[in-house]
């Protein structure tokens, strides 16, 4: 085998990142589910022969990719290294050996070169339906939440398992979408494999041992250097969120040591009776992501750069749910883990982390069914849509409007959602005044008003939080606006759970704003005027919260009428 310089290895490392990004984009282009095509709720990565993640795609969510980093060793153990054959493809949606709930299918493909196993490609995607109660928090155990596929062969030496396909088709509401997504997952791994083999031939590599060692050692060293430069110490963080029927509290003790950072979630709430519990793998994914963003954001994500961020939690708690706890909406708790970690990190590293944001995604699923007046041929349809509240303000920059942090998925376009089924989105716009006040303003949430087309009624599965516990400001910043949800006649609806919506009725939702950072009295006058001109804040807020005088408010309003820039 040829010897390679560090420069050549760096080129290969960049190539691997390009390979997995092409892998992810292939999944986006070929997936059937709108959650993958439009929101990017997926991950893709390449692993060495030992199952260690070497590179991840830029496209995707940290909850998927960081959880998937732990998944490939489970596949190797379950299948058995001696049973891994060329032409195989494996899959699972196991929440504890995959990425946290049954709606995520993880596909792993062994990569062979010249007859020898050299590595693995893995990818994950959220599918619209897996049977059971449907996507939502209503289940009392994982058995109610859908069909469970343990780690097994999807393709056996080149032949797709027809029996598995038939079982899946017989257990879900959207069989074409699910099976189409599974083929898309397998295909994107195959594309990654082809590009990897092209690279290995170009650089005359017989295996990935050399490049694997280079990536992992450099990543490990760089991460440890960052941690070693931090002040030693411990701090506690805590936050309370809505939960399902009762509030839940997340607690963490963050300890910075010379060679690791430990996040210990002891003292967090116990298991919830409903499906908002979070397996440890998903808690770990978002705790690691939060710390990587704050401490070593430019070091590529791989097994070695994640290893110094260690997680501990008591079993059978909200952040370490064991089988058979219901976990369908594990993302709700998982997406609040970063803000909990930052509550502690802010005490150790001031002026670094943002204020709290909306946290969890503002998702809902509509289960539409024809009424007696429906057109001939109308059928039941499941439509899932991803949406976001505002992110928290940062120490020197305003929060982002209607932007998902920490998940990073994209908000689905109205057109894509309406194309997926008989849905009408009557309103979708930024929610003025929802960002918390501060020297840096919190990001805005958004309004949505949804209904069904004539001839349909629907159940809405709400997956919201921040109804009773809005985002908290940092360093004197104001809280973000809370979530609201109601029918168009004003009847309140619950923030979580499946709820019937009669025909011809609409659901009105207001998604939460991010919190502010610093005192509002310190905000620059020009930024206040700009916010007023853009409709981000009201004239009343400009006067009462920010102290803008009446003459300046009048000038802004005159400029708006004249179409002038502020």
- To 10 degrees, the CA torsion angle through 333, 246, 270, 251? 60
For residues 359 and 466, the answer to whether their CB atoms sit within 8 Å is yes
Q: Final residue of a domain: which of 187, 220, 253? A: 220
The pLDDT mean for the chain works out to 96
pLDDT over threshold 90, residue 566? no
Assess if residue 126 is contained within a domain. Answer: yes
Residue 322 lies in a domain: no
Which pLDDT score is estimated for 2?
58
CB 477 within 8 A of CB 393: yes
Query: Do residues 220 and 58 touch, judged by C-beta distance below 8 A?
Result: no
* Cα angle: 270, vertex 275, 277; to 5 degrees: 40
* CA nearest to 119, candidates 52, 210, 44: 52
Same domain, 532 and 515: no
- Proportion of the chain above pLDDT 90, given as a percent: 91
Q: From start to end of 27-151, where are the E strands?
A: 42-48, 53-56, 89-92, 104-113, 116-126
Same domain, yes or no, for 364 and 393? yes
100-127: average pLDDT: 97
pLDDT at 544 over 90: yes
The yes-or-no verdict on residue 3 having pLDDT over 90 is: no
What is the side-by-side order of every strand in the sheet holding 363-370? 381-385, 363-370, 456-463, 496-501
Inter-helix orientation angle 280-295/337-348, to 10°: 40
Do residue 507 and residue 564 come from a single domain?
no
Domain that holds residue 477: 354-520
Q: Label residue 1 by pLDDT band (50, 70, 90).
A: very low
Q: Is the pLDDT confidence value at 355 over 90? A: yes
Residue from 54, 361, 34, 35 nearest 44 by CA = 54
Whether the model clears a pTM of 0.85, i.e. scores above it, the answer is: yes
pLDDT digits (tens, 9 = 90+) for 466-510: 999 999 999 999 999 999 999 999 999 999 999 999 889 999 999
Is there a single domain that holds both residue 504 and residue 551? Answer: no
Report the range of poorest mean pLDDT among 67-71, 284-288, 506-510: 67-71
**Could you tell me if 452 and 563 lie in one domain?**
no
Residue 273 lies in a domain: no
Beta strands in 339-455 (DSSP E): 363-370, 381-385, 423-430, 446-452
Q: Are 402 and 444 in contact (CB under 8 A)?
A: yes
pLDDT of residue 526: 95
342 lies in a domain?
no
- 160 and 23 in a single domain? The answer is yes
Domain identity same for 501 and 391: yes
- Is 255 part of any domain? no
Residue 356 per-residue DSSP state:
P
Q: Residue 375's pLDDT band (boundaries 50, 70, 90)?
A: confident
- Residues, the chain: 566
399's CB contacts (< 8 A; 6+ apart) are 354, 355, 357, 390, 391, 392, 393, 435, 436, 440, 441, 442, 443, 513, 514, 515, 516
Confidence of residue 65 (pLDDT cuts 50, 70, 90): confident
Give the residue with greater pLDDT, 313 vs 564: 313
467 with 556, same domain: the answer is no
Q: What is the dihedral of CA 165, 170, 171, 176, to 10 degrees?
A: 60
* Structural domain includes residue 367: yes
User: Which of 205, 220, 235 represents a domain boundary (last residue)?
Assistant: 220
What is the rounded distance in angstroms from the CA atom of residue 240 to the CA atom of residue 100?
Answer: 22
pLDDT at 250 over 60: yes
Name the pLDDT band for 374 (thresholds 50, 70, 90).
confident
* 28 and 131 co-located in one domain: yes
**Does residue 490 lie within any of the structural domains?**
yes
* Domains contained in the chain, number: 3
Using the 3D structure, point to which of 201, 220, 239 is the last residue of a domain. Answer: 220
Phi-psi region of 514 (alpha: psi -120 to 50; beta: other; left: phi over 0): beta
pLDDT at 58: 87
Within-domain flag for 138: yes
The more confident residue out of 499 and 61 is 499
Phi-psi sector, 23: left (phi>0), alpha (psi -120 to 50), beta: alpha
| Same-domain status, 436 and 542 | no
Q: Are residues 90 and 191 in the same domain?
A: yes
Q: pLDDT > 70: what percent of the chain?
A: 100
119 and 205 in one domain? yes
Only one residue has tokens 């979630």, namely: 265
Strands (E), 212-352: 233-241, 248-256, 261-264, 309-312
Answer yes or no: is pLDDT of 10 > 70: yes
């Amino acid at each position: 085998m040829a010897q390679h310089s560090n420069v050549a290895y760096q080129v290969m490392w960049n190539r691997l990142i390009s390979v997995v990004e092409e892998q992810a984009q292939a999944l986006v282009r070929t997936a059937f589910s709108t959650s993958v095509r439009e929101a990017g709720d997926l991950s893709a990565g390449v692993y060495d022969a030992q199952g260690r993640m070497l590179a991840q795609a830029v496209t995707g969510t940290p909850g998927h990719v960081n959880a998937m980093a732990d998944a490939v060793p489970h596949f190797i153990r379950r299948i058995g290294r001696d049973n891994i054959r060329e032409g195989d493809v494996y899959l699972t949606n196991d929440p504890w050996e995959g990425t946290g709930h049954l709606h995520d299918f993880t596909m792993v493909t062994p990569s062979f070169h010249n007859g020898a196993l050299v590595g693995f490609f893995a990818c994950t995607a959220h599918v619209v339906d897996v049977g059971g109660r449907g996507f939502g928090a209503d289940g009392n155990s994982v058995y109610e939440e859908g069909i469970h596929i343990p780690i097994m062969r999807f393709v056996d030496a080149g032949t797709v398992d027809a029996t598995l396909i038939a079982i899946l088709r017989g257990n879900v509401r959207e069989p074409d979408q699910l099976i189409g997504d599974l083929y898309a997952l397998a295909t994107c791994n195959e594309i990654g494999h082809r590009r990897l083999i092209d690279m290995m031939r170009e650089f005359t590599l017989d295996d990935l041992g050399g490049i694997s060692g280079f990536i992992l050692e450099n990543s490990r060293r760089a991460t440890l250097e960052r941690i070693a430069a931090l002040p030693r110490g411990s701090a506690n963080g805590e936050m309370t969120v809505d939960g399902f029927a009762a509030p839940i509290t997340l607690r963490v003790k963050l300890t910075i040591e010379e060679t690791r950072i430990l996040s210990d979630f002891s003292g967090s709430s116990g298991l919830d009776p409903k499906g908002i519990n979070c397996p440890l793998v998903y808690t770990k994914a978002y705790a690691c992501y939060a710390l990587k963003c704050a401490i070593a954001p430019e070091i590529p994500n791989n097994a070695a750069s994640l290893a110094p961020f260690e997680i501990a939690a008591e079993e059978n708690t909200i952040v370490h749910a064991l089988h058979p706890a219901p976990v369908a909406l594990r993302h709700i708790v998982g997406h609040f883990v970063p803000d909990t970690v930052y509550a502690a990190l802010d005490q150790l590293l001031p002026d670094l982390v943002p204020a709290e944001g909306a946290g969890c995604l503002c998702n809902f699923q509509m289960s539409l069914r024809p009424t007696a007046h429906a057109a001939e041929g109308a059928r039941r349809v499941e439509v899932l849509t991803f949406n976001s509240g505002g992110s928290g303000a940062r120490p020197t920059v305003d929060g982002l409007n209607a932007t998902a942090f920490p998940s990073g998925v994209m908000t689905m376009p109205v057109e894509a959602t309406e194309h997926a089924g008989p849905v009408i989105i009557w309103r979708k716009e930024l929610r003025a005044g929802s960002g918390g006040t501060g020297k840096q303003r919190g990001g805005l949430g958004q309004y949505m008003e949804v209904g069904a087309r004539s001839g349909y009624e629907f159940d809405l599965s709400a997956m919201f939080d921040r109804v009773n516990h809005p985002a908290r400001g940092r360093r004197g910043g104001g809280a973000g606006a809370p979530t609201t949800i109601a029918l168009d006649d004003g009847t309140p609806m619950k923030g979580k759970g499946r709820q019937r919506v009669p025909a011809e009725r609409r659901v009105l939702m207001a998604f939460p704003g991010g919190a502010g950072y610093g005192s509002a009295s310190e905000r620059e006058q020009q930024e206040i005027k700009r916010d007023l001109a853009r409709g981000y804040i009201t004239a009343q807020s400009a006067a009462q919260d920010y102290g803008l005088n009446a003459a300046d408010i009048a000038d802004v309003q005159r400029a708006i009428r004249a179409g002038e820039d502020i």
